[in-house]
A and B are shown apart, each in its own frame.
Chain A
Amino acid sequence: MSAPGSPMTPAKSLRLVTLAFGALLMVTPFLYMLSTSFKGQQYVLKLPPQFIPDPATLSNYERILVRGDFGHYFANSLIVAVISTALAVLLSAMMAYGFARYRFPGRELMFRMLLIGLMIPAMMLIVPQFVLAKFFGVLDSLPGLIIFYVAGNLALNTFLLRGFFEALPGELDQAMQIDGASHWRRFWNLALPLSRPALATATIFTFLATWDEFAWALTIITTPENQTLPIAIALLQGPKGTQWGLVFAASIIAILPVIAVFLTFQRHFVQGLTAGSVKG
């Protein structure tokens, strides 16, 4: 805990030990999952449990990646998450800009409606959204996932980005306006580049939310070729005896991108989380 050079007091070392113990509790399940993903089926529930798999095997990964359809599910998840995120962030940024830069009647009312959308539990809408998706003919399809993922992520992102756009200095905008720049150019070439940190936050949160989404995909996806990773992993559970090694090999593959995104963009996480709490 202490900076190099400063003495290690008993209080400091006690604090360090407490934190390390807590961190161990947080990480042990992950390490055990990693370990199990290298175990054969006969070893997964062996007592006493093995922390280091012996014999270790790659067969779970081989079955998932080579013989299974997980490459396909991974691609589905990636397509859905990337397209949904791009559309949700773009549409949210446009809306946020509209709310932040212009005055018009009904502005407050519309923004209030967005806030209510923020408070409504997503699961509450799942029944009527299913009916709507059926009406649109997008049940059991990736577009059916994308449309509703985009819609579901608009409110939070608009809220986040509007605050940021409002804080941008107006002088630059006016200068560009005098130079004859169109509304769209002022948005695209000025407001967006200046808002890169907020856009990064919105992008990360939306990507993770869509990558991990489970309930909606479970509801509308029925054929295996349209499954995303969370669904495919949940369905690896058998009614009698789950192949735990297989489940966790697939899980590791599913969470690797998440951990990569998280480690790369850590700083934006803190910003995004606090944007909400400052308002609260």
Chain B
Amino acid sequence: MKLWRTYLPPALFIAPGFLLFLVCIVYPMLQAVQMSFFDWKIVAGATSTFLGLENYIRAFNDPRFWLALSNSGIYMAFTVPPQIALGLGVALLLKDKSPAQPVFRVLYYLPVVTSWVVVSLLFKYLFADRGLINFALDDLLGATDKISWLADRWTALVAICALGVWKGIGWSMMIFLAALQGVPRELEEAAVIDGANRWQRFGAVTLPAIWPATIFVTIMLVIGGFNVFASVLVMTNGGPGGATEVLLTYMYRQAFEFLDFGYGSALAVILTLIVFALSALQLKLFRNPEATR
């Protein structure tokens, strides 16, 4: 009877949410792994055949998978560092309290809260052949050739990455702004008295204090980079000819266009393993802030 009284209240608090979590998140997680070993049939009555590792071997030999993987990697490589550098830069410029600070904070953060669909359409419009970007390059910088940004793999990736950076700066800025509030004032003043210049102060006082936030931002942005989906789908739909396909758009197409749920699941599992491995690797690399000085 006593056990009953001890465990019933927490069980009642936790059960509704946790059951939903088990059914809608944990079970699909396990099922994704299971499906990746099958030629999975969505149609009622059809039997799914067990393929073992065949879906994974297929991915390994699929040039389109490697193209999508490299595009995801390129997106990550060209969006994460600028977001960190610019976000930190803006935060450093903005850290002192002033009447203008809240206004700037809102303006830089605005793209973060706007839906991916809207900003993707917006950038598609800006990068259109007769769009604002070409006009600016053409008229203001004197470039004569019009660029069909979204019609070529590399220029399309430039446009997609530009969107990623533009939308993400505000987020890293906000994290860094909060972290900068935690930099001990006395240390900064002591460094000034010791005659340290701006860069020395940044390296010796500021950077160690914001290091945990930097790790957090980096890991989240890398995960986010590999999760790029809506912007590619809306701006190029993976085109031209699949040249800008990223991992998630390719996975989505396999599953919901070709109804190849098994292969799609295998791709999703591979993506998850990559994301986990990268996060673990970064945690290991970043553990010691001394190493970066």
Interface residues of A (CB under 8 A from B): 1-3, 15-16, 18-19, 22-23, 25-27, 29-30, 32-33, 36, 44-49, 91-92, 94-95, 97-99, 101-102, 104, 107, 110, 113-114, 116-117, 119-132, 134, 147-148, 150-152, 154-155, 158, 183, 187, 208, 211-212, 214-215, 219, 229-230, 233-234, 237, 242, 244, 247-248, 251, 254-255, 258-259, 262-263, 266, 269-270, 273-274, 276-278, 280
**Which B residues lie at the A interface, using CB under 8 A?**
6-7, 9-14, 16-18, 20-21, 23-29, 31-32, 35, 42, 86, 90, 93-94, 96, 98-100, 102, 104-111, 113-119, 121-123, 125-126, 128, 130-132, 135, 139, 166, 169-171, 174-175, 177-179, 212-213, 215-217, 219, 223, 226-227, 229-230, 234, 248, 251-252, 255-256, 261, 264-265, 268-269, 271-272, 275-276, 279
Grouping DSSP codes into helix (H, G, I), strand (E, B) and loop, the B interface class, with mixed when no group exceeds half, is helix
Chain B nearest CB from A219 CB (Å) reads: 6
- Chain A positions within 8 Å of B107 at CB level: 23, 26-27
Q: Which residues does chain A contribute within 8 Å of B170, judged by CB atoms? A: 26
A279 to B102, CA, bound (A): 25
Q: State the Cβ distance, B99 to closest chain A Cβ, in Å.
A: 7
Which single residue of chain A is at the shortest CB-CB distance from B260?
A: A127
The answer on a CB contact under 8 Å between A127 and B113 is no
Q: Are B108 and A121 in touch, CB under 8 angstroms?
A: no
In the complex, A161 Cα to B166 Cα: how many Å?
Answer: 30
Complex-state Cα separation, A215 to B256, whole angstroms: 12
A271, closest chain B residue (CB) = B178
The CA of A143 and the CA of B42, in the complex, are separated in Å by 21
Find out whether the CB atom of A120 lies under 8 angstroms from the CB atom of B20: no
A234 touching B179 by the CB < 8 A rule?
no
B178 touches A32 (CB 8 A): no
Q: Is the interface of A mostly helix, strand, loop or mixed?
A: helix
Residue in A25, A32, A102, A280 with the greatest tally of chain B CB atoms within 10 Å: A280
Cβ–Cβ contact B123 & A29, under 8 A: yes
Chain B minimum-CB-distance residue to A263? B106
Residues of chain A within 8 A (CB-CB) of B115 are 211-212, 214, 229-230, 254-255, 258
B93 touches A219 (CB 8 A): no
Contact A98 B118 (CB under 8 A): no
Residues of chain A with a CB closer than 8 A to B169's CB: 26
Interface contact B6-A104, CB-CB below 8 Å: yes
Q: Known pairs A47-B130, A104-B7; list 13 more (Cβ under 8 Å).
A: A26-B110, A29-B119, A36-B125, A98-B14, A104-B10, A113-B26, A119-B279, A124-B29, A127-B32, A128-B265, A147-B20, A187-B13, A254-B118
Residue pairs across A and B with Cβ atoms less than 8 A apart, 12 shown, are A30-B114, A45-B128, A45-B131, A104-B11, A113-B26, A123-B271, A128-B35, A132-B27, A151-B24, A154-B17, A183-B9, A255-B118
Nearest CB of A to B232, in Å: 12
Q: What is the CB-to-nearest-CB distance from B41 to chain A, in angstroms, rounded to a whole number?
A: 10
**A91: which B residues are within 8 A, CB to CB?**
16-17, 20
Q: Is the CB of B93 within 8 A of A15?
A: yes
> Are the CB atoms of B268 and A273 closer together than 8 Å?
no
Which of B29, B139, B265 interacts with A48 by CB under 8 Å? B139
Closest to A1 in B: B98
Whole-angstrom distance between the Cβ of B191 and the nearest chain A Cβ: 18
Cα distance, A5 to B252, chains bound together (Å): 58
Q: Which of A107, A131, A276 has the largest number of chain B CB atoms within 10 A?
A: A131
Report whether B216 and A277 are in contact in the complex, using a CB–CB cutoff of 8 Å: yes
B279 — which chain A residues lie within 8 A by C-beta? 119
A113, A121, A183: most-surrounded residue (chain B CB, <10 A): A121
Q: How far is the CA of A212 from the CA of B234 in the complex (A)?
A: 14
What's the Cα separation between A164 and B159 when bound, in Å? 41
Please give, as numbers and ranges, the residues of chain A lying within 8 Å of B7 by CB-CB distance. Answer: 104
Say yes or no: A121-B272 contact (C-beta < 8 A), given A212-B116, A230-B115. yes
